[in-house]
Amino acid sequence: MRADNEHPTSHIPHPRFIALLLCATLLITLCGCACHQPFVGSRPFNFQTDTFAYANELVWEYHYDENGKWVHQHREPPPDYTRHCFVVARSARQFFENAKFDPAQPVAEEKTYRRLISRVVSIDPTHPLPDSKKIVIPGYANLREFSGPWEHLLKNECGGAWQSYIQRGHWRMIFPFSRSHQARTVEQLLADLKQNRPPVVHVVRFPQLTINHAVLLFGATENEKEIVFSVYDPNKPDSPKKLNYDRATRTFNFASNDYWPGGRVDIYEVYRSWDY
């Protein structure tokens, strides 16, 4: 997807694939659907401890040219872990909701961690585990600490780039985003955060394809004019980022960085229900 960041169209499914995905979605609708299950987490998401120590790397380098146009070129040398923004954001929430770290236990062997990681990321994101059934990760205090020495294993086991390409909610971005839809989305996101359930959102401009990215939201500050969401950006694990929502225009804005020039974006939550 664009925010991983590749060629503007390289992470958008082929129109034929989108049509097939939409048909499948409509078929499932006719057959009935599962409802989103209420869930209240025992604690809020902590950026310093609940995120990965490594980044989803950028395929392209971006900058403004001499004419003020936003352009891109291949990074050299080519990075080895790209196009995984959905995988990283989703996996961070799966570890937050389904794993429990125990630094008092001794560090385990690689095969043990491989098995535990596979168990954590195999859990349906719409059905997190209760505290009594969380998967124990021995030898480390949190995900940030664990993902340093075991970066290679997490990258291999959390999922391939194809899981970003065919995330089940991609069908939604081809339809218009009304201002009323974005206002409803804000209320949904705030409700999730109040339940200590950090939402993973798809950040998109369609059909421009200037951004097509996944981030995790873990906090929000409100005033009369705007809501400022705290963001874990898989591309930028060094510090929290911001996603602003303007109440008057009912519009989201994502600040500029080295892969996005900044400006208005559309938002919807993914890994929430059967169809997203």
Give residue 7's pLDDT. 40
The residue segments making up the domain with residue 94 are 45-165
CA separation for the pair 192, 196 (Å, rounded): 6
pLDDT of residue 67: 61
Return the structure tokens found at 10.
Answer: 């390289």
Rounded-to-10 torsion of CA 86, 258, 142, 45: -70
Q: Would 57 be classed as within a structural domain?
A: yes
Pick the closest to residue 203 from 236, 225, 226 (CA basis).
236
Amino acid 192: pLDDT: 96
Domain presence at residue 15: no
* Any domain includes 85: yes
List, run by run, the mean pLDDT of 10-residue segments along the chain (276 residues): 44 50 50 52 94 88 57 69 95 98 98 98 94 97 98 97 84 91 97 97 89 96 98 96 98 92 95 83
Report the distance separating Cα 105 and Cα 141, nearest Å: 10
Number of separate domains in the chain: 1
- Which residues are CB-neighbours of 220 under 8 A, at least 6 positions away? 189, 190, 193, 227, 228, 229, 230
Residue position matching structure tokens 């902590």 = 46
Q: Could you give the C-alpha distances from 9 to 193, 205, 212, 217, in angstroms and in order?
A: 32, 12, 9, 25
- Assigned domain for 173 exists: no
**Non-local CB neighbours of 107 within 8 Å, separated by 6+ positions:** 138, 139, 140
Residue 160 maps to a domain = yes
Residue 126: inside a domain? yes
Residue (of 29, 45, 9, 64) closest to 212 by Cα position:
9
Instruction: Give the pLDDT confidence score for residue 71 in this predicted structure.
Output: 55
Yes or no: say if 89 and 214 are a contact pair by the CB < 8 Å rule.
yes
189 domain residue, yes or no: no
> Residue 143's CB: how many other CB atoms inside 10 A?
23
CA distance 254 to 267: 10
pLDDT at 64: 55
pLDDT given at position 79: 81
Write down the residue that tokens 């209320």 correspond to. 187
In a domain, 188, yes or no: no
Neighbours of 111 (CB within 10 A): 9
Give backbone dihedrals phi and psi of 267, rounded to 5 degrees, phi first: -130, 140
pLDDT value for 6: 44
